[in-house]
A and B are shown apart, each in its own frame.
Chain A
Amino acid sequence: MFRILGQSFTAGVVTEPPPDHEDTELARLGIELRRLIDARFGRSLAIRQVDAGSCNGCELEIHALNNPYHDVERFGLHFVASPRHADALLVTGPVSRHMETALRRTWRAMPSPKFVIAAGECACNGGEFGVSYASCGAVENVLPVDVKIPGCPPMPLDLLKGLLGALRTA
């Protein structure tokens, strides 16, 4: 127990903003995000993430959104387990043909109003994989997409900016 307390105490709070350029930006983005979420979704935005065929690089960076540096829950964003609880569908990867139906069904299971965010180069335009016998390419070939977040994979800050964009248009 003491070891744990000791460690927590020495590591301190790393949640940004500590003093560097990037992090001021994070705080600014976060606050704006928070305001928009308050206005549009009653204080929180529930996101259902679906990997529709990614290489798993995008997932790693989405995970990083939840680490103590970014801690997006403080801005009212949280990831939910069921599409029934979700406001937004965050899709990564090109849509593999084998995931096509599962993705459509997930989207259909979400209550309206809902919007779809394509995260990563693959989801935006097919990326390295494109359209093939095994892949439908970009998410918009399968579902209506509201916002695209490019990057391979998008960095956590890009993801936040993209979510902000999503709320502006939603």
Chain B
Amino acid sequence: MTQSDARSPLAGGSPPSDPAGSSANRPQTGADEPSARPRRFDWLSEFLARLEDEHIVAHRGDARILAPAHRLVLDPEDWAVAAKLAAAMGMRHAGLWADPLDDGETEAGTDEPCIRVRACLEQAGDYLVIETDVPLNRPLLGSQTPVYPGLDRLERHAHDLTGVVFTGHPFDSTQDRPDERRWTRHQAWPAERFPLRHDFPLRGETTRRTPADTDYPFVRVQGAGVYEIPVGPVHAGIIEPGHFRFHAMGEEVLRLEQRFGYVHKGIEKLAVGRDPAGLIRLAGRVSGDSTVAHAWAACQAIERATGCAVPPRALTLRAVMAERERIANHLGDIGAICNDVGFAFAHVQCARLREQWQRRSHELFGHRLMMDALIPGGVVHDLSADAFLALRQDHAALHRAVEPLFDVIDDHPSLDDRLIATGILSLTDARALGCTGYVGKASGLRFDVRRDNPYPPYDGVRVEESVETEGDVAARVRVRMAEVRGSLWMLDRLLDALPEGAIAVPLPAAPPGAVGLGLIEGWRGEILCFVRFDVAGHIARYFPRDPSWFTWPALERLILGNIVPDFPVCNKSVNGSYAGQDL
């Protein structure tokens, strides 16, 4: 990659967004897209036809309630088949979550206590949410994991917290047993109790010490010369806790199995009963490095549920913060990846640039990570004319600083030796697991919410495509470097088109039972966020789905056949969030 190719010389984007607000506002991106986008949802009729062929009734009421997604209500017995049909059409699975409706005060039509399960699929940038109810006293549902392996942990998480049982869940792609293994649950609550149900108190049911989860059934690899390396939960560096179980022969990794849940803090339960502002504070702490992205996703879900028209200036400022977050994290990670293979020069330089960047965030947005800078209905900090100038100068300065640096990283023999062909994630695996963000892009998946289902202000600015095909660590580094350049370019466009006006509006009261879906391209990839209000206007359900749910399993696959000492650099190149998936 040359220095200049990602720094597109094209003219700036058009002014961001019309003031119509966030929901239902989905303009086409226009003529600068190389290939004209097919009409929205032009695949849906075929999917419906295929459902019909299988005699599946799709109840259609309220199809737009989770806009921009299309919603279909299915019978529980059709759940697994629907996933099979979706997979056959090449749809990507964007996550699954369960919502116990067992407090007696929920909307009409659910007199029986039940668990409502929703799954989100994506095709050509269009989202489809399928939904079904299973009775609380017999919460059985067919597993979608056999056709969507990335769903394994989400289904087990849903089971551990709500009790829904996924039948036909494969233990492992090579074995044909149901996977009854816990995922998020360790020993803090018993197997037959489910924290997200209403009869489970937030404080828990015991105050005794929680023992270590020692008898988790890891899959064993046996054979002469095969040995196990257990690592964690407490790791050697300043990183989050989690357990990795390696099976190795000589230096080669034969199998890696992850065991997470160590930083499970009960975020979904803590959200219940909060007001919207309180939820956004919590959302900003789902994963500290993605605080802007998660807060934005939650704001978006809330604002769509309440029909709030967020001022365009606020939306652009959110995007400015989100792009700043992307750049800060990529800088830190690019440096850390180089450091993991002993190239300290890049590490020090990147850390230097990141620190300068964070100091500016602190000065202009009140916080080095920009925590709590978003509120429902808008943002907290406006940009003064001076701040505007300072940012323009920062962007130019960072651009000048990263070009020679990225030039070195991109083309340095000792780095090439270690990064090229290390930790290859095949396109097939990336697609099967539903990877987005730089992990998906490095393996050839171009999906980016900002471009494929643009939310304002991204509907008015061109999003650079940064796709590689090799799928190795080097490709992930190149994608990240391209994203730094792309975001820098975009930041100037966003500032140029910064609309005038208010930076926040009061949030309208939520209609009882209102639901909303947030979809944001965070720096790790697509963040999905679901919010449901109760009758009193408080939060009844919050589920944030970090992209790490799908990139962690990718790490299990891409490490195979690599040597154990390359694990740190492979891990860093993916850099999943533990907090974001343990919740």
A residues sitting closer than 8 Å to B (CB atoms) are: 3-4, 6-8, 11, 14, 49-64, 66-70, 79, 81-82, 93-94, 96-102, 105-106, 127-135, 152-153, 155
Please determine whether B368 and A56 come into contact, CB atoms closer than 8 angstroms: no
**Chain A residues closer than 8 Å to B436, beta-carbon distance:** none
Q: Is B355's CB within 8 Å of the partner chain A?
A: yes
**Known pairs A60-B289, A61-B368, A93-B263; A82 contacts B239 (CB<8 A):** no
Contact partner, A98, options B264, B270, B407, Cβ 8 Å: B264
**Chain B residues closer than 8 Å to A94, beta-carbon distance:** 265
Residue ID in chain A nearest B211 by CB atoms: A101
**Known pairs A7-B404, A55-B288, A98-B186; A133 contacts B205 (CB<8 A):** yes
B 87-109 to A, binary, CB cutoff 8 A, 1 in contact else 0:
00000000000000000000000
**Chain B residues closer than 8 Å to A68, beta-carbon distance:** 348, 351-352, 355
Kindly identify, within residues 334 to 351 of chain B, every residue whose CB is under 8 Å from any CB belonging to chain A: 345, 348-349, 351
Cα–Cα distance between A119 and B58 once the two chains are bound (Å): 52
Q: Is B213's CB within 8 Å of the partner chain A?
A: yes
Contact partner, A96, options B203, B263, B270, B404, Cβ 8 Å: B263
Residue ID in chain B nearest A5 by CB atoms: B345
Q: Is B565's CB within 8 Å of the partner chain A?
A: no
Please determine whether A58 and B288 come into contact, CB atoms closer than 8 angstroms: yes
Please determine whether B288 and A102 come into contact, CB atoms closer than 8 angstroms: no
Question: What 9 pairs across the A-B complex have the smallest Cβ distances?
Answer: A57-B288, A133-B204, A134-B266, A81-B236, A67-B351, A97-B188, A97-B210, A55-B288, A101-B212
**Chain B residues closer than 8 Å to A81, beta-carbon distance:** 236-237
Q: Is B387's CB within 8 Å of the partner chain A?
A: no
Please determine whether B200 and A98 come into contact, CB atoms closer than 8 angstroms: no
**Chain A residues closer than 8 Å to B266, beta-carbon distance:** 129, 132-135
**Chain A residues closer than 8 Å to B509, beta-carbon distance:** none
Please determine whether A134 and B188 come into contact, CB atoms closer than 8 angstroms: yes
Q: Is B36's CB within 8 Å of the partner chain A?
A: no
Contact partner, A100, options B209, B368, B405, Cβ 8 Å: B209
**Chain B residues closer than 8 Å to A101, beta-carbon distance:** 209-212
**Chain A residues closer than 8 Å to B42, beta-carbon distance:** none
- A-B residue pairs in contact (CB < 8 Å), sample of 11: A14-B352, A55-B291, A56-B288, A57-B289, A96-B263, A98-B262, A99-B233, A102-B212, A130-B270, A153-B288, A155-B368
Q: A7-B404, A60-B369, A134-B195 are in contact. List 13 more A-B contacts (CB 8 A).
A: A11-B401, A55-B286, A55-B291, A56-B287, A57-B289, A64-B354, A69-B355, A93-B263, A100-B210, A132-B266, A133-B202, A134-B188, A134-B264
B 354-376 to A, binary, CB cutoff 8 A, 1 in contact else 0:
11001000100000110100000
**Chain A residues closer than 8 Å to B288, beta-carbon distance:** 54-60, 153
Please determine whether A102 and B233 come into contact, CB atoms closer than 8 angstroms: yes
**Chain A residues closer than 8 Å to B262, beta-carbon distance:** 53, 96, 98-99, 102
Residue ID in chain B nearest A79 by CB atoms: B238
Interface size bracket, B side: 35 or more
Q: Is B579's CB within 8 Å of the partner chain A?
A: yes
Q: How far is the CB of A15 from chain B (nearest CB, A)?
A: 9
Q: Is B441's CB within 8 Å of the partner chain A?
A: no
Please determine whether B239 and A98 come into contact, CB atoms closer than 8 angstroms: no
Please determine whether B238 and A59 come into contact, CB atoms closer than 8 angstroms: yes
Cα–Cα distance between A131 and B188 once the two chains are bound (Å): 13
Please determine whether B408 and A3 come into contact, CB atoms closer than 8 angstroms: yes
Please determine whether B203 and A131 come into contact, CB atoms closer than 8 angstroms: yes
Kindly identify, within residues 414 to 459 of chain B, every residue whose CB is under 8 Å from any CB belonging to chain A: none
Q: How far is the CB of B208 from chain A (nearest CB, A)?
A: 10
Q: How far is the CB of B330 from chain A (nearest CB, A)?
A: 13
Cα–Cα distance between A11 and B201 once the two chains are bound (Å): 55
B 185-229 to A, binary, CB cutoff 8 A, 1 in contact else 0:
011110000010000111111000111110000000000000000
Please determine whether B265 and A56 come into contact, CB atoms closer than 8 angstroms: no
A interface, by DSSP: helix, strand, loop or mixed? mixed
**Chain B residues closer than 8 Å to A63, beta-carbon distance:** 238, 332
**Chain B residues closer than 8 Å to A49, beta-carbon distance:** 238
Please determine whether A135 and B239 come into contact, CB atoms closer than 8 angstroms: no
Please determine whether B213 and A98 come into contact, CB atoms closer than 8 angstroms: yes
Residue ID in chain B nearest A58 by CB atoms: B288
Contact partner, A51, options B241, B287, B289, B401, Cβ 8 Å: B241
Cα–Cα distance between A52 and B264 once the two chains are bound (Å): 10
Please determine whether A56 and B577 come into contact, CB atoms closer than 8 angstroms: yes
Q: How far is the CB of A125 from chain B (nearest CB, A)?
A: 14
**Chain A residues closer than 8 Å to B238, beta-carbon distance:** 49, 51, 59, 62-63, 79
**Known pairs A64-B355, A68-B352, A133-B203; A54 contacts B404 (CB<8 A):** no
**Chain A residues closer than 8 Å to B362, beta-carbon distance:** 155
Q: Is B326's CB within 8 Å of the partner chain A?
A: no
Most chain A beta-carbon neighbours within 10 Å: one of B261, B265, B287, B578: B265
**Chain B residues closer than 8 Å to A55, beta-carbon distance:** 285-288, 291, 579
Contact partner, A82, options B212, B236, B261, B289, Cβ 8 Å: B236
Q: How far is the CB of B457 from chain A (nearest CB, A)?
A: 26
Q: How far is the CB of B406 from chain A (nearest CB, A)?
A: 11
Cα–Cα distance between A81 and B209 once the two chains are bound (Å): 26
Please determine whether A98 and B210 come into contact, CB atoms closer than 8 angstroms: yes
Cα–Cα distance between A135 and B266 once the two chains are bound (Å): 8
Q: Is B240's CB within 8 Å of the partner chain A?
A: yes
Q: How far is the CB of A131 from chain B (nearest CB, A)?
A: 7
Q: Is B269's CB within 8 Å of the partner chain A?
A: yes
**Chain B residues closer than 8 Å to A98, beta-carbon distance:** 186-188, 210, 213, 261-264
**Chain B residues closer than 8 Å to A129, beta-carbon distance:** 265-267, 270, 285
Cα–Cα distance between A60 and B336 once the two chains are bound (Å): 12
Residue ID in chain B nearest A50 by CB atoms: B234
Please determine whether A133 and B261 come into contact, CB atoms closer than 8 angstroms: no
Cα–Cα distance between A11 and B188 once the two chains are bound (Å): 50
Q: Is B282's CB within 8 Å of the partner chain A?
A: yes
Cα–Cα distance between A6 and B264 once the two chains are bound (Å): 46
B 34-52 to A, binary, CB cutoff 8 A, 1 in contact else 0:
0000000000000000000
